[in-house]
């Protein structure tokens, strides 16, 4: 399941890159997107899960959100629990499988997207101001 999702992500990256001119840059703030990973280095030797993979869409409660720039997701296992995290967005998901951890991460991303969207700009400062700016342009809700 995860292997096919990774290949679909790489195909989606290639497809999207063809539609974007070379000097186009959507964000002024880095989100921490993943670079193309050579196929021989995509998987760790001790796990069948990728260390880092791009997230092109976020799902929650029947809603689909496309991301304007892929979100770099690091998946790892600690004991019996899997973790999926993005350090730039300061979110982490957990689960009994890698897929559950990514799904939990998606729920956190949507929660904070809605939280920062509703938060007035004059009520944020420091790290919250940075996160509000990132989340503002990160997700696009599909109809």
The radius of gyration of the chain from alpha carbons, rounded to an integer in Å, stands at 16
pLDDT at res. 10 = 67
- Which pLDDT tens digit goes with each residue over 23-74? 544 444 444 445 544 444 444 444 455 578 888 889 877 888 889 889 999 9
> Sorting pLDDT into bands at 50, 70 and 90, what band is 1?
very low
DSSP state of 35: P
Question: What tokens appear for 16 in the block?
Answer: 């999207």
Residue of 88, 83, 92, 113 whose CA lies nearest to 32 = 88
Please spell the DSSP secondary structure of 48-89, one letter per residue: SSBSEEEEEEEEETTEEEEEEEEEEEEEEEETTEEEEEETTT
> Rounded distance, CA 27 to CA 40, Å?
30
Map out the domains of the chain as residue ranges: 2-141
- Which pLDDT tens digit goes with each residue over 84-114? 999 889 999 999 988 899 999 999 999 999 9
Q: What is the pTM of this model?
A: 0.64
């Amino acid at each position: 399941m995860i292997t096919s999702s990774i290949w679909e992500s790489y195909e989606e990256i290639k497809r999207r890159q063809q539609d974007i001119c070379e000097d186009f840059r959507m964000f002024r703030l880095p989100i921490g997107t993943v670079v193309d990973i050579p196929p021989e280095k995509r998987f760790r030797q001790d796990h069948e899960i990728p260390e880092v993979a791009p997230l092109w869409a976020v799902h929650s409660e029947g809603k689909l959100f496309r991301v304007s720039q892929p979100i770099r997701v690091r998946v790892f296992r600690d004991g019996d629990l899997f973790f999926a995290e993005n350090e730039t967005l300061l979110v982490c998901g957990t689960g009994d499988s890698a897929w559950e951890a990514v799904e939990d991460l998606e729920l956190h991303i949507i929660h904070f997207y809605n939280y920062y969207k509703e938060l007035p700009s004059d009520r944020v400062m420091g790290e919250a101001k940075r996160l509000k700016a990132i989340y503002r342009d990160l997700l696009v809700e599909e109809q």
